Amino acid sequence: MTSIKLYVYDLSLGMARNLSMGLTGNQIDGIWHTSVVVYDLEWYFGQGIFFDPPGTTIYGSPVKIIDMGKTEVPKEIFLEHIEGLREIYTADKYHLLDNNCNTFSNGLCEFLNGSKIPDNIINLPAEFLSTPMGRQIRPFIESFFGPRKIVHFAADAVLVSAVLAGIKRSTGLSVATNNIENQEIRKAVDKFLNVGEWVFDQSILIMNTSAYFERKR
């Protein structure tokens, strides 16, 4: 029998726990990414199905490791199952709610021994999108990436664009998109930056009315 471990990462690096109540009205402890460690490899879904030695992925160190029990599935059968999943878990089929890294981990654990990953992880996207801010942000994310093509790092992309908007407001420095020769890429970057401006403005509006924030100057 082989042990199964669920590696849990927080893509927000702690920011979700600290800011979510003030920004969304809900306590969100993390933006979870998960992977499954079995047969001495860490398996995960991003822009397809990948594997690495445990703890060496681009996501850094897991914030927690959950024991998911053991499996009697032979390694050869497991690898055949993985190959069968590659047509389902592709970059273009990624979806924030229905086909993400956590649904991949959940399905893999179910195949290995019938276990399921924690509900608070699998239900996180729906929980966030049910908040006032989530309902406002979703159309912008979907219009940018397409409703069936919300890539794995969409939340991080929005965060980066909001940070760039904050830098622009405080220093006047902004991305020189006019220097981008490719017109399509320039339009995409402008749209990306516009999302950040909107998120930045909405965040300020929410913070102004939240008891969790106070103005110091």
Verify whether residue 101 is a known catalytic residue: yes
Spatial strand order in the sheet of 32-38? 49-52, 41-45, 32-38, 2-10, 64-71
Q: How far apart are CA 136 and CA 159, in angstroms?
A: 15
Those residues whose C-beta lies under 8 Å from the C-beta of residue 122, and which sit 6 or more positions away, are 102, 103, 106, 116
First-residue to last-residue Cα distance in the chain: 62
Q: How far apart are CA 63 and CA 32, in angstroms?
A: 10
Q: What is the DSSP letter of 162?
A: H
Query: HEC states along 149-208?
Result: CCCCCHHHHHHHHHHHHHHHHHHCCCCCHHHCCCHHHHHHHHHHHHHHHHHHHHHHHHHH
Catalytic residue among 33, 81, 95, 152: 33
Q: How far apart are CA 94 and CA 104, in angstroms?
A: 10
Are the C-beta atoms of residues 109 and 4 closer than 8 Å to each other? yes
Q: How far apart are CA 162 and CA 196, in angstroms?
A: 4
Catalytic residue among 81, 95, 101, 152: 101
Residue type, 156: D
Distance of CA 212 to the CA centre of its chain: 25
Verify whether residue 33 is a known catalytic residue: yes
Give catalytic residue positions.
Answer: 33, 101
